[in-house]
Amino acid sequence: MFVCLFCANFVLSTRLYLILILLIHNTKHSHYAVNADLYCKLGLPFVMGTTGGDKQLLYKSVQDSKNYALISPQMGKQVVAFVAAMKIMANQFPGAFSGYNLEVLESHQAGKLDTSGTAKDVIACFEKLGVSYDMNRVCSIFFMLENLYILYILLRK
């Protein structure tokens, strides 16, 4: 998905006009670095959804360019709130689920190449809570429907 909203300031006679450029970019992680570098060099603020690559390098590129960006693997506010709550719980109650086993099943659109950032974040929280888990064990199922997403977490002792 690529959406571009153009915007800039200019004065025509005595009136000030505002034009805004905001790029919204949801891409495969193999393309994010080149695109982000381009946006930063051009000074274009952007929103990017990606789950792969070197996020620290991406954040550094944006910070060094003094550009504005929102970079997140998940844009749904309820999911973001859930992951934030999991992070709080993991930080406040480390080891609380020691001795438990974790199984993860998630659905994707047919073109998705990797485990979602949401699943990775939730698994990282459970690891802080004392559950060991190998990320390669995530079971992914693929649907032809673009808007269907399921993340199933089973925690058992």
* Number of helical H runs and strand E runs in the chain: 4, 9
Helix (H) or strand (E) holding 84: helix 77-92
User: Is the distance from CB of 5 to CB of 22 less than 8 angstroms?
Assistant: yes
28 catalytically annotated: no
User: Is the distance from CB of 118 to CB of 154 less than 8 angstroms?
Assistant: no
112 catalytically annotated: yes
Q: Which of 108, 120, 128, 157 is catalytic?
A: 108
Distances (CA, A) of 111 to 46, 64, 143, 146: 23, 33, 9, 9
Q: What angle do CA 31, 34, 75 make, to 5 degrees?
A: 55
Q: Which of 28, 29, 55, 112 is catalytic?
A: 112
- Residue 33, CB-side half-sphere exposure with 13 Å CA sphere: 8
- In degrees and rounded to multiples of 5, residue 103 shows phi and psi of -125, 135
Residues noted as catalytic: 108, 112
